[in-house]
Copies of this chain bind each other. A is one copy, B any other.
């Protein structure tokens, strides 16, 4: 338990709920869709509410859903939610908005920041714990799940793609979230990236890997159930996972 006592710094969850989800129902943004009778964004916020090591939560929304999310947060009265912020056009813009707001709020550089996609409603408590612990040894960590399929890296050859290489399967992972960083580390990576006009990562981990290559990013064990709800086709699986979780809690 000594590791836990070391973590007397703020542990801030940033829940990114700004995606517009063009692959989903445009009239009902996916982060507001209910599974197991509860909006997806609420599942995600509650994962951090339930974890005693997380001290604060910031929710990043887009203006179209801001009112709806504010109402959900007010109704539930989540005690850790400190701010609801407007995000930007892309994922990295939303992360950057959260980092700026945290800096303005005077968060210390050694605070632990856990950036989570709201559309991963079923993140395991063990994965959140794993992120907080990993930041005692590393400045960056990401939840990831070992790939059960062989991954192929490709290149373009005229109008077709051909295989460039086949990495060893035990070294291939599928990134999940949370992705976790000491605050000063992710701030520095984003500051460096801001000067690069070609900067369009889909992933916060990649910002650190690309701009701070000397900082190793630790892998934290994810889970098969840490599903990303991307399309309507994901809903039956999401409902099944939600039903399993609600049964276990009973």
A82 at interface (Cβ–Cβ under 8 A)? no
A32 at interface (Cβ–Cβ under 8 A)? no
Select A154's contact among B165, B219, B240, beta carbons within 8 Å. B219
Select A219's contact among B151, B163, B228, beta carbons within 8 Å. B163
CA distance A172 to B160 in the complex (A): 14
Q: Is the CB of B166 within 8 A of A210?
A: yes
Q: Is the CB of A163 within 8 A of B205?
A: yes
| Contact of A163 with B209 at beta-carbon distance under 8 Å, contacts A150-B174, A228-B149 already known | yes
- Measured between C-beta atoms, what is the minimum distance from A81 to chain B in Å? 27
- Mask of A86-130 contacts with B, CB within 8 angstroms, 1/0: 000000000000000000000000000000000000000000000
Give the segment of A50-58, A59-67, A183-191, A230-238 that binds chain B. Answer: A230-238
A79 at interface (Cβ–Cβ under 8 A)? no
CA distance A240 to B148 in the complex (A): 21
A226-249 with Cβ < 8 A to chain B: 228, 230, 233, 236-237, 240
Q: Is the CB of B206 within 8 A of A166?
A: yes
Q: Which residues of chain B come closer than 8 Å to A169, judged between CB atoms?
A: 202
Q: Is the CB of A151 within 8 A of B171?
A: no
- Measured between C-beta atoms, what is the minimum distance from A199 to chain B in Å? 13
> How many residues on chain A are close to B (CB under 8 Å)?
48
Select A147's contact among B142, B174, B210, beta carbons within 8 Å. B174
CA distance A201 to B205 in the complex (A): 29
A202-216 with Cβ < 8 A to chain B: 202-203, 205-206, 209-210, 216
CA distance A236 to B149 in the complex (A): 19
Q: Is the CB of A163 within 8 A of B216?
A: yes
A173 at interface (Cβ–Cβ under 8 A)? yes
Q: Is the CB of A151 within 8 A of B150?
A: no
Q: Is the CB of B175 within 8 A of A164?
A: no
Q: Is the CB of B206 within 8 A of A162?
A: no
Q: Is the CB of B219 within 8 A of A166?
A: no
A224 at interface (Cβ–Cβ under 8 A)? yes
Q: Is the CB of B240 within 8 A of A236?
A: yes
Given contacts A142-B152, A162-B218, 15 further A-B contacts (CB under 8 A): A138-B162, A142-B163, A144-B152, A147-B151, A150-B175, A150-B202, A152-B174, A152-B175, A154-B172, A161-B171, A162-B216, A164-B171, A166-B201, A224-B233, A237-B237
6 inter-chain pairs at a CB distance below 8 angstroms, sorted by A residue, are A144-B152, A148-B228, A153-B171, A162-B216, A164-B171, A166-B209
